[in-house]
Amino acid sequence: MRSVFQAVAAGIRYRIREGAVNGNGASRWAGVVLAGLAVLLVGGCTGGAEGTTQDRSRSEAETVIRLGHGLDPSHPVHRAMEAMGRRLDSLSGGQMAMKIYPSEQLGTERQCLELLQIGSLDMTKVSSAVMESFSPLYKTLGLPYLFRSEAHRFEVLEGPVGQRILQSSTGAWLRGIVYYDAGSRSFYTTNQPIREPSDLEGLKIRVQESPMAIRMMNLLGASPTPISFGELYTALQQGVVSGAENNPPSFHTTRHYELCQYYSLDRHTALPDVLVASTHLWDRLSEQERDWLMQAARYSAQVQKKLWDEATQKAMREVKKAGVEVVRPDLEKFQKAVQPLYEAFREEQPTVYRLAQEIKDVRVDSAGSDSVKNDPVERDSATVDSTGDAMAKAAKEGGKREGEKEGR
């Protein structure tokens, strides 16, 4: 407890002296200070976000890694993190443990990253879009129609290019560990199918507050309208916007399908999530501890990928059942429409442009797999466990066989 307090205090003194990295003033840092105090308060409570078995494991471990994120405990990412904690405990023989704080207990994505920077939190999960502020290479992943297919995306992210991006933020005290699948984003609209860019002309489409998303939408002819995600259902209901864009699980869980008749599978962007560690944590771990952590993290990425696949297929089943028409647009026309964005990056950010070309040149080894037909939204989902728990159950049973301690 005292060491965490000292880390927060040291971080505050440093920020006052040097100024926040990529920051914008004292008001935002007040939130970071509060989040740092939350680490103290939540960390001092027994029980935490997990069950008593893992609490006992943590009390016996020599190294306890604190991981905070903003997702619900039912989310595939959180469930994969729990699998990571069990695997880490098993690999280290109880020497290492993980304490997970979901649901923004310790702050927003940005606040958690800043806690990592000062060493007050060990790990977090954020969208790769948030990492753009700490390394320009992450901007590449937000370019529209960058990936040809799911297989191409994983070939890039799990290969040398993806690893280079993960390591590019260490100068900001943030070390990328693995990627988590967040699927691909497509358009959904209330009363008009989107088959080609001309169908978007004049439509108000909700976008994230991202310069890249706004530029893309302008090139496609739509009127980009940044709106808080929590206010989007009402905005669709009241006709403030005619549509939005997101991945299938989000389209389903937010119940936006109740208001939108069409889901157009253009897959314009596929921003992954990133599991990030503080370099303060990394530097104090031994080589053996780093290896255990990386093994556990890679295992969790595979668990999460399967859970996400299941969630995607379930979402597509449910929205179709509710009467949503799934549209397959003319992708070549969309790709051609956004080409000026790539040309602009050639001049504005040549490093990002060159990396994008390198990504496009990556080839998938498996014959026939470099096709959208192999994406989860296209696969027959009839045999998928509709509860989405098949992989979680398998991971849990595997943990028991390995003698892993079970959580809640």
The DSSP line for 245-257 is EE-HHHHHHTTGG
Neighbours of 28 (CB within 10 A): 13
The DSSP line for 368-385 is T-SSGGGSTTTS--TTS-
Beta-carbon contacts of 227 under 8 Å, excluding residues fewer than 6 positions away, are 206, 235, 240, 241
Structural Rg of the chain based on CA atoms: 21
Distance CA 359, CA 355 (A): 6
Distance CA 55, CA 47 (A): 7
3: burial class by Cβ within 10 Å (0-12, 13-18, 19+)?
exposed
pLDDT tens, the chain, 408 aa long: 444 444 454 454 444 344 444 444 444 545 555 555 555 445 544 344 443 335 545 667 899 999 999 999 999 999 999 999 999 999 999 999 999 999 999 999 999 999 999 999 999 999 999 999 999 999 999 999 999 999 999 999 999 999 999 999 999 999 999 999 999 999 999 999 999 999 999 999 999 888 899 999 999 999 999 998 889 999 999 999 999 999 999 999 999 999 999 999 999 999 999 999 999 999 999 999 999 999 999 999 999 999 999 999 999 999 999 999 999 999 999 999 999 999 999 999 999 999 999 999 999 976 546 655 567 777 644 433 333 344 444 444 444 444 433 333
Beta-carbon contacts of 189 under 8 Å, excluding residues fewer than 6 positions away, are 203, 242, 243, 260, 261, 262, 264
Chain-centroid distance, C-alpha 23 = 22
List the chain domain ranges.
Answer: 2-126+271-309+389-401
Q: Collapsing DSSP states into helix, strand and coil, what is residue 169?
A: coil
Distance CA 26, CA 241 (A): 34
- Pair 67, 123: CB distance under 8 Å: yes
Token reading at 83: 């699998």
pLDDT at res. 50 = 46
Distance CA 246, CA 270 (A): 10
pLDDT at res. 377 = 73
Neighbours of 206 (CB within 10 A): 25
User: What are the backbone angles phi and psi of residue 243, rounded to the nearest 5°?
Assistant: 180, -175
Distance CA 27, CA 289 (A): 37
Instruction: State the helix-helix crossing angle for 339-348 and 211-219, rounded to 10 degrees.
Output: 140
Residue with the two structure tokens 């959580």 = 407
Distance CA 73, CA 51 (A): 13
Distance CA 85, CA 123 (A): 12
pTM assigned to the model: 0.79
- Pair 43, 76: CB distance under 8 Å: no
Distance CA 344, CA 340 (A): 6
CA torsion angle 181 279 95 291 (round to 10): 60
Helical (H) or strand (E) element with 178: strand 174-180
Distance CA 268, CA 248 (A): 13
Neighbours of 353 (CB within 10 A): 18
- Total residues found in the chain within this entry: 408
Among 163, 136, 133, CA closest to 294: 163
CATH class of 2-126+271-309+389-401: alpha beta
Q: Collapsing DSSP states into helix, strand and coil, what is residue 183?
A: coil
pLDDT at res. 367 = 52
